[in-house]
Amino acid sequence: MHPLIDKLERERTLSRAEWISLLDARTAELARDLFRRARALRRKYYGDAVFLRGLIEFTNCCKNDCYYCGIRRSNRAAVRYRLTEEQILSCCREGYALGYRTFVLQGGEDPAWTPERLAALVSSIKGEFPDCALTLSVGEQPRAVYQLWFDAGADRYLLRHETADAAHYRALHPPEMSLEARKRCLWDLKAIGYQVGSGFMVGSPGQTSVQLAEDLLFLRRLEPQMVGIGPFIPQKDTPFGAQPAGSLELTLFLLGLIRLMLPSVLLPATTALGTIHPRGRELGILAGANVCMPNLSPQEVRGQYALYDNKICTGEEAAQNRRSLERRLASIGCYAADGRGDYRPL
């Protein structure tokens, strides 16, 4: 029990100083209390349903050079690939047959995928699968491009802010990128009408509770429908290759805090969480998460979407292993929900 957890549950918000002091007060006992409340809230809005998204990592070519990311343009060791429209559509067909009703197209900022080309793909997918939600996750774009894709039928957009502290943002990204530009994209996406997901890495180099407090304050202001967080994990061919990974315990604690702050948010138990611990995603759900994003990319390119080392991609997180995923969810009292799994407003 901690008075700030009570206050957070009551008021759905804390001051900067309060966030910092709550993060610094974290103990295993406090975490247990937080997770119990987070699960109760998740149940209140979504029952025991966990929503599945079929993730299609359709290009690992990227014009950006983020210091933490394995597919940054300076990484000569990365083996690059780009799926064709036909390959992407066949991933969707396979996913549809497996029961997926949300497809997430995620990729680097790849100039070969012009706005018009991606818009055409969006309309083909929505034309063939009108009962599915389509989520895009392809980085920063001008507002007119986001509008073009929305008009073509895209429903949701994922763009993590990565860190809401401007100095920390500069330490993680090359000079041509800025937190201001990133935030502008997120507000544009909201204004257009997308269901928006943002989020951040936990334990990125140099991060302390001071930066995490900024992340929580920013999410409070943005009120995204989805929040993706996961531990930072080093990728050996990047400038941060020798840095320590973020911790499981802190990531879980943040999931719980986010559930209390944004009670009906869609909160994935991410692949990165499943990578740092064999039961990471189950523990994430027990801390308040309610979304899983199994991998639907073609087997032969899965290993190449290497944002960080040892990324899981061939085991139970594969979309094809739906039965074993269902068993894992049942083991923690949850089930894989049918349907698109849209956001439920408070």
Cα separation, 341 vs 312, whole angstroms: 24
Residue nearest to ligand 5AD (CB): 308
Least gap, CB of 181 to ligand 5AD (angstroms) = 15
**Is residue 67 within 8 Å of 114, Cβ to Cβ?**
no
Task: Describe the strand order of the beta sheet including 133-137 as a list of residue ranges.
Answer: 54-59, 102-107, 133-137, 156-158, 195-202, 226-231
**Is residue 114 within 8 Å of 93, Cβ to Cβ?**
no
Least gap, CB of 59 to ligand 5AD (angstroms) = 13
Least gap, CB of 226 to ligand 5AD (angstroms) = 12
Q: Which is nearer to ligand 5AD, 269 or 337 (CB)?
A: 269
Q: Which is nearer to ligand 5AD, 147 or 235 (CB)?
A: 235
Q: Which is nearer to ligand 5AD, 132 or 307 (CB)?
A: 307
Cα separation, 45 vs 343, whole angstroms: 10
Cα separation, 201 vs 262, whole angstroms: 18
Q: Which is nearer to ligand 5AD, 46 or 157 (CB)?
A: 157
- Residue 335 DSSP SS3: strand
Please state the φ and ψ torsions of residue 114, each to the nearest 5 degrees: -65, 160
Task: Assign 3-class secondary structure to 143-171.
Answer: HHHHHHHHHHCCCEEECCCECCCHHHHHH
Cα 309 to chain centroid, rounded? 18
Q: Which is nearer to ligand 5AD, 107 or 288 (CB)?
A: 107
Interface residues toward ligand 5AD, by CB under 6 A: 68-69, 160, 162, 201, 230, 232-233, 235, 272, 307-308
Least gap, CB of 99 to ligand 5AD (angstroms) = 24
Radius of gyration, alpha carbons of the chain? 19
Q: Which is nearer to ligand 5AD, 39 or 311 (CB)?
A: 311
Cα separation, 253 vs 248, whole angstroms: 9
Least gap, CB of 45 to ligand 5AD (angstroms) = 25
Question: What's the burial of 111, exposed, middle or buried (CB within 10 Å: 0-12/13-18/19+)?
Answer: exposed
Least gap, CB of 269 to ligand 5AD (angstroms) = 14
Least gap, CB of 272 to ligand 5AD (angstroms) = 5
In DSSP terms, which residues pair with 162 in a beta bridge? 200
Least gap, CB of 273 to ligand 5AD (angstroms) = 10
Q: Which is nearer to ligand 5AD, 292 or 334 (CB)?
A: 292
Fill in the amino acid letter for 230: G
Cα 78 to chain centroid, rounded? 22
162 is in an annotated binding site: yes
Fill in the amino acid letter for 205: P
182 is in an annotated binding site: yes
Question: What's the burial of 228, exposed, middle or buried (CB within 10 Å: 0-12/13-18/19+)?
Answer: buried
Cα separation, 290 vs 288, whole angstroms: 7
Q: Which is nearer to ligand 5AD, 49 or 69 (CB)?
A: 69
137 is in an annotated binding site: yes
Provide the annotated binding site.
Answer: 62, 66, 69, 137, 162, 182
Annotated binding-site residue numbers for [4Fe-4S] cluster: 62, 66, 69
Cite the annotated binding site for S-adenosyl-L-methionine by residue number.
162, 182
Q: Binding site for (3R)-3-methyl-D-ornithine: which residues?
A: 137
